[in-house]
Each structure stands twice: as structure tokens, then as C-alpha cells.
Chain A
Amino acid sequence: MSEREFWPEGVERCDLGKFLAWLGFISIFLVWGAYGAYKVLGTGIGVTALDNYFGFGLWITFDLAVIALGAGAFFSGFLRYIMRIDELKNIINLAVIVGFLCYSGAMLILVLDIGQPLRAWFGYWHPNVHSMLTEVIFCITCYCTVLIIEYVPLILENRQIAKNRFCHHLAHNFHVYMPLFAGIGTFLSTFHQGSLGGMYGVLFGRPFVFREGFFIWPWTFFLFVASAIASGPAFTMLCATFMETITGRKLVSYETKKLMGKIAGLLLCFYMFFKILDTYAWAKGILPGMGLTFDQMYNSAAGYGKTWLWVELFWCGVIPAIMLVTPAVRNRPALLYTAAILDCVGIVINRFVFTVQALAIPVMPFDQWFSYAPNWAEWSTSLMIIAYGFLVMSLSYRYLPIFPQERALNR
């Protein structure tokens, strides 16, 4: 049996040698990251650049960012299966895989990030119901399980695996119940996206991130949900485009991409409206109320200048929001992709600001600003997770029928 017979029916893939060379390139990062992980697990996170001022650094930023960008999975699933937007069936498989990679990758990083990885299960065994992080632990692991359940039928649809009657029927039945999992995933994901924001919003000792409550949730709970669903679909669309560029094949119709861009744009407008409102209220109300000024929150010399704020809000917020909701812009691929990239970059900056910049601000007036720069151990393991994503995505693209439009688009 040739390797070609494992490919989805009627599609073309590069030759095996080229594919193995690609996997070899990815493996460089995997091996480097594995070495970093070995050092971290073997000798502790003292090998990183984290310290008592920056207990949260690149890893948490990376986690928050990929989880936000992976929101395309739950939100596309919600729109496809619950809201019945049929056009999204052309990209939903990709959204699920991207979501799975983002969430499983975030969990792998968290295993490295906590000081006692063998006690990770304590979050279930000794849960603190008052902690937003408890909710994150519960939801993130449960939702990752949901994503595995959503990914399994895709694997079972491999041409050779599907020849097995049991696997074929199992995959079919998984599909039948997919709206149920989409619903569960939406519920879980909404809450943990929110709780990730809530984690910071409840830190009343940290003026940069603290927000008053809206019922039992801090305001950041909703901002994080909104920002995640505003960037997730854009990221999924960009992943499809990136894969098309790498493989040289059409995978998703431009109509579907435009729809994803429109969804992201509308949600980005919604998010930006409240984010700007929140920023204004924070600068004019919360900070003076705590005896602080707007300027005290920034220190350009330490790398935490206002530039981040303006880039996040204007260049990567307002601008892409306007671009994505403008049909004339969406009709031009270069502009659509540019807006989507800006959207995603803005959300990554937002997560950086909430994790690193927020912790850098000296709250005690006689305290100092400190800088933080991740070291090789953090970069290698983070790049390992990205390489892991490339690996799984490459294998999935080559052997699984992810893109229902591929054959028609490449005739």
C-alpha cells in the first residue's frame, strides 16, 4: 500500500521526501523545546527568567494569547451547529483542529509553568470556589476533552481508517452528536475565556488590571470573552490562508474567509466599543480613585510605555475593526488578511499587557520598575508548542479530509 492511499480521496499532496524534510525542520524546534522542558522539569523553573516580580511571564502571555486565538473553535462551532450558519461547514474542521492545538498546547505549557507539576490535579481535589483560576482549571481541561471528542471523528475519517466499519460508524455518530458537543464547548469556553480575564480583574492590589464587579464577575471577564471571539475567527481564517500559501492549493473559498472576517469584524467593533469605554473609565475613574495617575502606569525606559496601549487600541483595534466591517475592504484579500493579522496582534498585545506590564507596575510608591525578558528556556518551550501545532496540522492536512471544498476549488 502506498502512502498516497492514506491521503483524502481526490487530493494532491507533496511527495513523501519533501514532507519528511518539512517534518525534520519542525523537529529542530521540537527537540530544542524538549531539551528546555527537560531542564525545566528536572531542575525547576529557576532556569527561566521569571522572578518574584514576574511570576507570570512569556508562558502565561503565550497561554492567554493562544487560548484567545483558539476561540475560533468554540465560536465557529456555536455559529455552525447552534446558529446554523451553513457556510461555516467549510472551515469548521480547521477551526476544531486549531482550537485543539491551542488548548492542548496551553495545557502543555502550564505543566511546565507551575512549580509542582505533579500536583496539577489538586485543582480538582482541593478546589477554591472563590478563585477564578479554579474555574479556568476546570473549564480548560473539560473543554480540551471536548475538543478531543470533536477531533476524533476527523481522524476516524482517514481513508484507510474509515474502511473499518466500526470506525466509520463511530465517526458518523460523533458527527450526529456534534451539536451537543458544540453547545457544551460553547458553555465551557465562554466561561473560561471570561475567567482568564476575571483572574486579573479581581486583583484589587493591582491597579492596572483591577475592575469593579458586574454581578459576581469583574468587568474584564466580559472583555476577555469579547476579545477572544473577535480574534478567534480571524485567526482560523489566517491559518487557512497560511496553509494555502505553504501548500500552494486552494483550501477554503474566499466567500467563507470573508464571512469569517465579517464575523470577526462585527465582534471586534463590539469589543472595541466596550474596551475603549473601559479604558476611559479606568484612566479617569479607577486610577485617581486609588490615588494613582494615568502616567504612573507607564514607564517607557523599562519597556512599558504607552505605545503598547495606543498600538493595541488604535492600530490593532479600531483600524482592523473598521476594515473588517467594510465590505469593500473585505473584498480585497490583502486588506482582509492585513486586518485579520492586526486583530490577532492586538489581542496578543492585550494579553501581554495584562500579564507582564500589569505586574511590572510598582504599586508601592517607593518600589521600583523592573524589566522582564524571557530567556531561552521560555522561548524554546513556547516555540516547541508552536512546532507541535505545525506537526499536528501538517499530519492532519496530509492525511485527513479537513477541507470539504478542496477538491472543487482545485479542479
Chain B
Amino acid sequence: MQHMEFKVKWGMVIDLDKCTGCGACSIACRAENNIPPMQDASNKLRTTDWMNIYELSNGKKFPDLEIAYLPRPCMQCGKPSCSTVCPVVATTKDEEGGIVSQVYPRCIGCRYCMAACPYHARYFNWFDPIWPEGMEKTLTPYVSARPRGVVEKCTFCHHRFNAAKEQARMSGADPLDLPEDAYIPACAEVCPTGAIVFGNLKNPEHRVAKLAASKYAFRLLARLGTDPQVYYYSKRDWVRQLGDNYLQKELKGGEHV
């Protein structure tokens, strides 16, 4: 499979030891990306939370019980399982920092990308988007409202990247060498504990690059080979093990393959 590499690689490190599961990232994402409130949110499998938060447990009884929260945006995979399967090139791995984009006017709503994504990071618009009266005034003008029948997903607030590039151009700076914090997605900006760090994974000056290189950093389902650009960070072994499909009686050295 083709592995796309670009000069800039936007990435995220989420410190699971800092995350309190408050949900601010999820709410900020909804507000920033014009995700409409649901008429009936009772079916949680039909919600449209681009930033979903999972509760992780070490499986032990109190007082040994430990909990961690794992916010899950789109992993912006280096080798996306979704874009290669889309029959109409509605989703692609972009040169714009390796963000996996979604072209809503081209999506035919076949949902093949949803079937392909092991992270469940893609969401289908089951219903027409309806905002309560007056709420339309709060919509972000740079993000399109998606119609019924298309798949949508987190794009690392790509519109903010465009704004940051414009700002850089206007000030005479290189838009492909943005300083840290010139572009950060809404979830990272709003996180009250600073658990979400965002930046260019290929720029050693950025904190995200240093954190991703840490021995405590891991990627979700790394064994599948999707090469995510979202890293998680935890000093707790059980959290890191849960990040991959940990096999209790795992054979070593590839002898089982």
C-alpha cells in the first residue's frame, strides 16, 4: 500500500494521564465544526461526535481500580484505510500536512469508509441538519454545513490551518513552516488540562514531536499498520497495552505469524 509522506505532518499527542474526560474537546469540536444538535440523541450509535471519548479501565476491583479517558479524533492515518476504498475520491490523504480530507459535495454516502475505519472516526449524516432558531448565528463561517446522506469526519480543524497559512503569508513568513501554536485545532485549544498537544510531527522544535518520540507514547492499533498521526501518552502500562490489541498469551518474535 502506498504510504504518503509530506514535508509537514500535523499531529497530535494526547496525554491520557492528564485527560479528565471532561468532554470540553468534544463540545468545542461540535461548536467549531458546525455539528448540529440531534433531534433525538437517544441512539448513541448515530451521534456525530468527531471527538469521541472512551472510558478505559484496568479491569480491577476497587481499590485497585484505575480509569483513564481516551479522546479519539480522526487518526489522520499515514496509510488510511478509508481513502483507498472510497469509490469517488471523496476522501484523500492531503498534502496539507497529511490531513485526511473529506469532500462533502462528492461523497455519495456509500459508507465504505466507515466500514474500513477501525477507529469508528467517520460519521454518517443520518438526518437533515437542523439548528434551533437563532443558533444559526453561531455557526462557524469557514466550515460547510453537511447535508443528509454524506460521511463526515474530523479534519484537525483544517480551516484554522488555512487561516494560519494566510496569516503567515500576510506577515511574510513561510506558510509551510508555521511556528508552534500558530495553528491548533479547537479541541487542543480548549483542553483545560493541556492534555492535547498539537503541532508538526516533523519539526523537532515542536513539543508534539518530542512527546511523540517518548517511550511513553503509543498509537492506537499501531499493529494494523495505519500509521496514525495521533499519538497517545501514558506512563501507565495497562493504558498503553489497551491502546493496541494486547494478547494475553501473545507469542513472541513473530513465531505465530
Contact = CB atoms under 8 A, between A and B. Distances in A.
At the interface, is chain B mostly helix, strand, loop or mixed? loop
A130 B114 CA distance: 17
B20 interface: no
A44 B149 contact: yes
Given A127-B87, A205-B226, A122 B246 contact: no
Contact of A365 (B1, B46, B245): B245
Contacts, number: 173
Given A45-B126, A206-B116, A370 B149 contact: no
A268 interface: no
Interface stretch (B102-110, B175-183, B191-199): B102-110
A128 B224 contact: no
B224 to A, nearest CB: 5
Contact of A291 (B85, B151, B245): B245
A293 B247 contact: yes
A289 interface: yes
Contacts of B55: 366
A113 B254 CA distance: 41
A204 B111 contact: no
Interface in A111-162: 113-116, 119-120, 122-123, 125-128, 130-134, 136-137
A56 B114 CA distance: 9
Contact of A203 (B81, B251, B257): B81
Contacts of A366: 54-57, 70, 242
Interface residues of A, number: 50
Interface stretch (B3-11, B117-125, B135-143): B117-125
Contacts of A289: 254, 256-257
B130 interface: no
A114 B256 contact: no
Contacts of A126: 88-90, 106
Q: DSSP majority for the A interface?
A: loop
Contact of A199 (B112, B123, B124, B256): B112
Nearest to B49: A52
A46 interface: yes
A20 interface: no
Contacts of A205: 81, 116-119, 221, 224, 226
A141 to B, nearest CB: 12
Contacts of B221: 205, 363-364
B199 to A, nearest CB: 25
Nearest to B40: A46
Nearest to B111: A55
Contacts of A202: 84-85
18 contacts: A45-B126, A52-B120, A52-B124, A55-B112, A115-B124, A115-B148, A119-B109, A120-B108, A133-B85, A133-B110, A204-B1, A291-B245, A363-B118, A363-B221, A364-B220, A365-B244, A366-B55, A366-B57
Given A45-B126, A116-B150, A132-B85, 14 more contacts: A115-B150, A116-B108, A116-B147, A119-B108, A128-B88, A131-B85, A131-B87, A203-B115, A204-B225, A206-B118, A288-B256, A288-B257, A293-B249, A370-B45
Interface of A: 43-46, 50-56, 113-116, 119-120, 122-123, 125-128, 130-134, 136-137, 199, 202-206, 285, 288-293, 359, 363-367, 370
Closest 7 CB pairs of A and B: A115-B109, A115-B149, A205-B118, A55-B111, A46-B126, A51-B45, A291-B245
